[in-house]
Amino acid sequence: MFENLKVFEHRYEELNLKLYDPESTADRDLYAALMKEHKEIAPIVEAYRQYTRCEQEIEEARALLAETADKELKELAQEEWKEAAERQAKLEEEIKILLLPKDPNDDKNVIVEIRGGAGGEEAALFASVLYRMYTMYAEKHGWKTEVVSLNETELGGFKEVSFLLDGEGAYSRLKYESGVHRVQRVPETEAQGRIHTSTATVAVLPEAEEVEVEIDPKDLQIDTFRSSGAGGQHINKTSSAIRITHLPTGMVVECQDERSQLKNKDKAMKVLRARLLDREQAKASAQVAQERKSQVGTGDRSERIRTYNYPQTRVTDHRIGLTLYHLEAILNGGLDEVIDPLIAADRAARLEAE
């Protein structure tokens, strides 16, 4: 494995030269592609170089032990050998993780769809809590949020909400959120103070490029209608909302967030492409179901993945048996406490499967 890492190092040096080549800087697309590759292999090369430095330190310590009869020097060399060997072992594990096949969707923006599940109005209110949690998480990471469609209830809950998250590495972190989220709390509408259990479903879809999903315009039925809900006077005067039906699959996407019909159509098409790509990827994943079981982030969306218990201020992720008592912080966007262990568990499972 480590012999092969020299290939990465040679390519890294080659990229460094190309990035300063006037021909590369003059071609924006080429320069962007070179920068992307450089960024991807830089951590591998850096870890490899540290690994080889540790190797040199071990050799030097070994040589000193063989050459000297001085007790203090021997003790010093033994200590240096031990420290370098420990660092090298850690770097070896780090390199193995860096060399794991990368999910091609990891760098993509995402479309998140949240729907109230079992529990009626309380489920809709919980869906709105999850929406707030993800938008606050996005804000912490500097990601841009855009609502595609929103169906509110009278009490301020969301029957369903779809939104775009635009930011580096959005899918790599949020792909673990797809599934059924369960809440246990006393609803505001409960007079006797009994704890109710409700659910909401979350779907996280990588945004698909047009070249990844071909859509025949003949397969689309596009309808316009007037927006509904609170807003401005334009809601009652213009038919800016868009409904797109993909006839072969029966998928329906609505968007009424923008005043512009064209902008709504563009957002709706993004969602449709993402859903169609997700459908194709789900078919492919079903063929390797055993492999999917070993990967934390690709579970069935009907699977209950997490419970939010308000009386105990507890959040439990059932996939990895993680329990945290920081409910308020997590609901305020502190999701990294949950996502980081999920990423670690996923990597460990993939390393074991290698």
Domains defined for the chain, CATH in brackets? 5-98 (1.20.58), 110-207+305-353 (3.30.70.1660), 217-284 (3.30.160.20)
Q: Which of 5-19, 70-84, 228-242 has the lowest mean pLDDT?
A: 228-242
- In DSSP terms, 308 is beta-bridged to 183, 315
Q: Given pLDDT bands bounded at 50, 70 and 90, which one contains residue 236?
A: very low
- Which pLDDT belongs to residue 229? 52
pLDDT for 347 equals 86
More reliable by pLDDT, 81 or 263: 81
Give the pLDDT score at 293. Answer: 44
Task: Give the pLDDT of residue 2.
Answer: 65
Mean pLDDT over 337-354 rounds to 86
d(CA 267, CA 252): 13
Beta strand 179-185 with 304-309 is parallel
Residue 181 pairs with which residues in a beta bridge? 200, 306
Evaluate if residue 281 carries a pLDDT over 80: no
pLDDT per position as a tens digit, 93-122: 888 888 888 888 888 889 999 999 988 899
pLDDT value of position 312: 95
Among 201-205, 218-222, 257-261, 297-301, the minimum mean pLDDT is found in 297-301
The strand pairing partners of 163, in sequence order, are: 112, 147
Mean pLDDT of the chain: 85
Query: What distance in Å separates the CA atoms of residue 344 and residue 354, rounded to the nearest whole number?
Result: 15
Rounded to two decimals, the pTM is: 0.71
Q: How many other C-beta atoms lie within 10 A of the C-beta of residue 292?
A: 15
Range of weakest confidence among 132-136, 148-152, 185-189, 210-214? 210-214
- The reported pLDDT for the residue numbered 230 is 44
CA nearest to 179, candidates 307, 330, 93: 307
Give the whole-number percent of the chain exceeding pLDDT 90: 44
Determine the average pLDDT of the residues in 293-319: 77
